[in-house]
Amino acid sequence: MSSPPLRPTVIQIRRLRQLWRSAGWPCQDMLEVELLALGWLERQQDAHGRETLRLTAPGIEVLHLGLRRNRAARDRHEDLVGRMAVELQRAGRVVWRGLSLRAGLPREDEPDRLRWVNAMPDVYSVRNTTVEDYLEPAVHEIKVSRADLLSELRRPAKAQAYLALSGQCWYVLRAGIAAVEEIPPAFGVLFAHELGEGWRFELGRPAPRRPMKPDFGTWMALAKAAPEAPPLDEGQDLLGEA
């Protein structure tokens, strides 16, 4: 029986997960043939002659490998989101993470009417000011894997929603997953270099700035959500424990 390769494909892991969650009814496609040949699936027949599929021990190992890979990517993503939020706060901005916002985009068939798109930017921020004209709302979307980035770039409505919600949009990319030229020109690019327990940011391309004020729906979402707590001053945060 074949042992799992170091990097099974995303499609293979997805099919194994689907079979693990289901009754195991076969699809009888070429992907299924591949998984059977690799020894990650096996065929079974019940007393009535009906054939089902079940994961073998190596197949479960592959599924566990995918789980660990996803968990590591999620942890890395959240770590970079948090680091970006701190950098923006230190630059004098008020920051929200994980907001659910609605953006009105023109319809292709009826430009005078809007279609509403839900967007959840990783980091949304405004300048810490009482003058509405100086708010400069910005979106920072964090990507640590190339597959995740390409999946988003294939859905232009999401990028359009970010642009509609802010006057400045950025992609913050883990260094090495993409080049500046692959990102739409309406977005700025920051590269995040992973250094031990921290991140170092490198400017790839500045984001174009457009005058923009948050609409009423965005203001209501901001009012209902708590902004990120300001970071502690590294030089002062332990004084209370003395």
pLDDT confidence of 182, banded at 50, 70, 90? very high
Give the model's pLDDT for residue 241: 45
Q: Which of 99-108, 139-148, 157-166 has the lowest mean pLDDT?
A: 99-108
**CA separation, residue 120 to residues 15, 65, 107, 143, 239 (Å):** 27, 28, 21, 14, 37
Residue-wise pLDDT tens digits, 62-80:
887 877 776 666 677 888 9
Beta carbons within 10 angstroms of residue 108's beta carbon: 7
Q: What does CATH list as the number for 10-66?
A: 1.10.10.10
Which residue has tokens 């009826």?
Answer: 110
pLDDT confidence of 49, banded at 50, 70, 90? confident
Q: Compute the mean pLDDT over every residue in the chain, rounded to the nearest whole number.
A: 86
Give the model's pLDDT for residue 72: 64
In angstroms, the CA 216 to CA 132 distance is 13
Amino acid identity, position 44: Q
* pLDDT over threshold 50, residue 227: yes
Predicted structure pTM score: 0.69
User: Of 18-32, 66-80, 111-125, 172-186, which one has max mean pLDDT?
Assistant: 172-186
Where do the CATH 1.10.10.10 domains begin and end in the chain?
10-66
Which residue has tokens 């007393």?
Answer: 47
Q: What is the maximum span of the chain, computed from C-alpha positions, in angstroms?
A: 75
